Amino acid sequence: MEKAAHPHAQGWLAFFCFIEASFFPIPPHPLLGLMCLAEPKKALRFGIIATLASVAGGLFGYLIGWGLYDSIGQWLLGAIGLADSFPTAACYLNEYDWEAIILAGSTPIPFKLLTITAGFVGMNLVTFVLASLVGRGMIFFTVGLLFRIFGAPIKNFIEKYLGLVTTAFVLLVVGGIVVITQVGGGESDEPGPCDNITSIEQVRGV
């Protein structure tokens, strides 16, 4: 809240979006929301700043995974509690490519996990950037566009129903993941290609 009211709030927004996409554990969405609540007419601008800074931070995360995984990336993922998720994330990136980046960029899945993983598996850089722009843009531009179009009314709506909206969004995301998992696995009880991945060695062999 303090940073949202700061004269350099846009700089703080860009900073937090950048570091969150590569290593910082706290998402920038609360700051973006507070800034949009304070100045709805600038909401779309805030969404653009957040998207571009987040993609730039994603490139930094990609660099960590690509060239600094053994020296920095492995320790970093352990420090923010994502080390156990890394092998599975790498497998999903190998299996689904840009779709996994868009999913992580537009949902509560930690985006930094996928940016570091994308560098580690050597995902095509152009594909990574485009997918990141789509995924991050979906979430940040949506917030900015809603505030730009509706202004004060959407502010009042969010202030009154934020809890319900957040709960519905989380349920929708979880339900979507379940559906995707079921569809991807078909009707059989056989495990999916990433269900039994528990180590980096297995990922390297995928």
- Summary mean pLDDT of the chain: 76
Contact 38, 6 (CB under 8 A): no
Please report the pLDDT score of residue 110 as a whole number: 78
pLDDT confidence of residue 112: 84
What angle is formed at CA 157 by the lines to CA 152 and CA 159, rounded to 5 degrees? Answer: 95
Contact 57, 49 (CB under 8 A): no
Dihedral in degrees, nearest 10, Cα atoms 106, 109, 115, 117: -140
In the chain, where the domains are located = 9-204
DSSP letter, residue 191: P
138-196 pLDDT, tens digit per residue, is 888 777 777 767 766 766 666 666 566 656 655 665 565 555 445 444 444 555 666 66
Q: Which of 17-26, 45-54, 67-76, 130-139 has the highest mean pLDDT?
A: 45-54
